Structure 1
Amino acid sequence: MIGISAALSGSILTGCMGPSPSEQAYEALENVVSKESPFKKEQKPLLELEQKENKIYNEIIALGMKDFNQIKSLSGDALKLVADRKERVEAEQKAIADSEKAFKDAEEALGKIEDEKAKKEAAELKKLMHDRYNSYNELAQSYKSAIALDEELYKMFQNKDLKLEELEAHISKINASYKEVMELNKKFNDYTEQYNTAKKEFYQAAELKVEQ
């Protein structure tokens, strides 16, 4: 799920700041980290919402349509959680969009670096970040599709004449949707980890004195 995705890591420059391209790149790259701060803040609340919603779902399934009024009430509570998840995903997407915009400044600074070793690391860094942004966009769209299916499910539970076959077919769609989400989430986390490693290697190649 998006709620357990990895975040960028930051560093602290311990030397004197100067106008060199490497130091400009450092400042821009760390600004990218700060832009993703709201994204990081959404991780725990999103996970908690997923857990609460899952608990309600299990309660509904345990009732087995025996107490329709209780099921209707529980599904109403779940729909509120779904709405909250939607808002938090929107906040995540805005933070990533702000990060992507800020990364353009970093690319400009990275493009000015002349040292061959540092330039090679910078190129790898740029590629990984673009792959990371692309994978996040895929993940976000997949997660929002899964949320839409969850919303539809809880609306179905509010129908007294709900057929078991309809319910089972919809739950199968949800399971397939979240399987895709988990695969895309792993891909995004892998790119984030690779990017964080590549950033450290770039700082070393550029001989920037930073605390990792």
Structure 2
Amino acid sequence: MLWKKSLFISLFILVIVLSACSGTATSEQMYNHLEEAVELEQTFQKQQQEIVTLEQEEQEIYSQVIDLSMDEFDKIKELSAQALDNIETRQEKIELEKESMDTSKEEFSNVDDMIADLEDETVSEKADEMSNVMMNRYDAYDDLHESYAKSLELEKDLYTMLQEEDLEQETLSNHITELNDSYQNVIEANETFNELTTEYNTLKKEFYEAAEIEVEYEEDMSSEEKKSDQDDTDEPEKEKQTDSDD
């Protein structure tokens, strides 16, 4: 039997340093909610790192399993049990991620109620466009989470099947095909999510510029590190408001 799985879930990493805004202008209040929403997503950083490590461990387990013969069935069962523990841990971690995203969405929803109070039409239009993209991004994450959760269930079924001594090759092959198709859906959902993250970053910068909110953009890694990781993650950028002359 042969199965090659290729996926590292690419959830973005967010760490932000917030500074107090001076004044109570609507746009500055929106800044607070926008950056707090990003702050509430920073659980992703830890969970992303740990999920990638667990995926690598599971892939190593699978590699060992497919190298074993039925004469070593006890070892296959032992390794499959380890893989099931690994999957359960990943399920717990993606639920932590989901909770973090839900709290971020709740915080971000405060922005929608404030857009109508913006007096400048250009700023209002830019804020509305930014908000729509961010809400689409939250929806895209829900699709990603659902797809990944389904794939984990199929993975769990796979390792349960591998503990059956009378497992037929055709049954196994059909399940592996279904699992790989499921992971392809995850990859596509992740691409959509990352594209919306990039679009949101751009629109948020444009909103800050239109509203004349001065910010500095911080990087959490060097350019070379960023380049090496760009196929695996996409992340909203960190923004810290600078001192204003107002």
Seen in structure 2, the aligned counterparts of structure 1 residues 9 and 204 have a Cα distance that, compared at 3 Å, is farther
Alignment partner of 2:115 out of 91, 106, 110: 110
CA contact under 8 A between 1:146 and 1:174: conserved in structure 2? yes
Q: How does 1:62-81 map to 2 (within 5 A)?
A: 62-81=67-86
Distance 2:213 2:98 in 1: 31
Please state whether the residue corresponding to 1:211 is helix, strand or coil. strand
Report if aligned partners of 2:14, 2:39 keep a CA contact under 8 Å in 1.
no
Unaligned 5+ runs, structure 2: 1-6, 218-246
* Superposed CA offset, 1:163-192 (max 9, x none): 111111110000000001000001001101
Q: Distance in 2 between matches of 1:103 and 1:176?
A: 34
Match status 1:126 vs 2:131:
yes
Letter in 2 for 1:118: V
Deviations 1:27-76 (A, max 9, x none): 01011011111123211111111111011111111114331000000000
Structure number with greater CO (CA < 8 Å, separation at least 6) is 1
Q: How many residues align?
A: 211
**2:208 aligns with one of 194, 203, 206:** 203
Aligned pair partner of 2:92 in 84, 87, 98: 87
Question: What is the match of residue 27 of structure 1?
Answer: 32
CA offsets, 1:58-110, max 9 Å, x none? 11111143310000000000000000000001001000100111011122233
Normalised by the length of structure 2, the TM-score is 0.81
The answer as to whether partners of 2:8 and 2:55 remain within 8 angstroms in 1 is no
* Structure with the largest fraction of helix: 1
Using the TM superposition, give the Cα deviation of residue 2 of structure 1 relative to its aligned residue in structure 2, in angstroms: 6.8
Q: Report the 3-state secondary structure (helix = DSSP H, G, I; strand = E; otherwise coil) of the residue aligned with 2:71.
A: coil
Match of 2:178 among 164, 173, 176: 173
Cα distance change on mapping 1:35 and 1:55 into 2, 3 Å: same
RMSD between superposed Cα atoms in Å: 1.7
Alignment-derived partner of residue 17 in structure 1? 22
1:6 to 5, 12, 36: 12
1:194 alignment partner in structure 2: 199
Conserved 8 A contact 1:2-1:185: no
3-state SS of 1:4 partner = coil
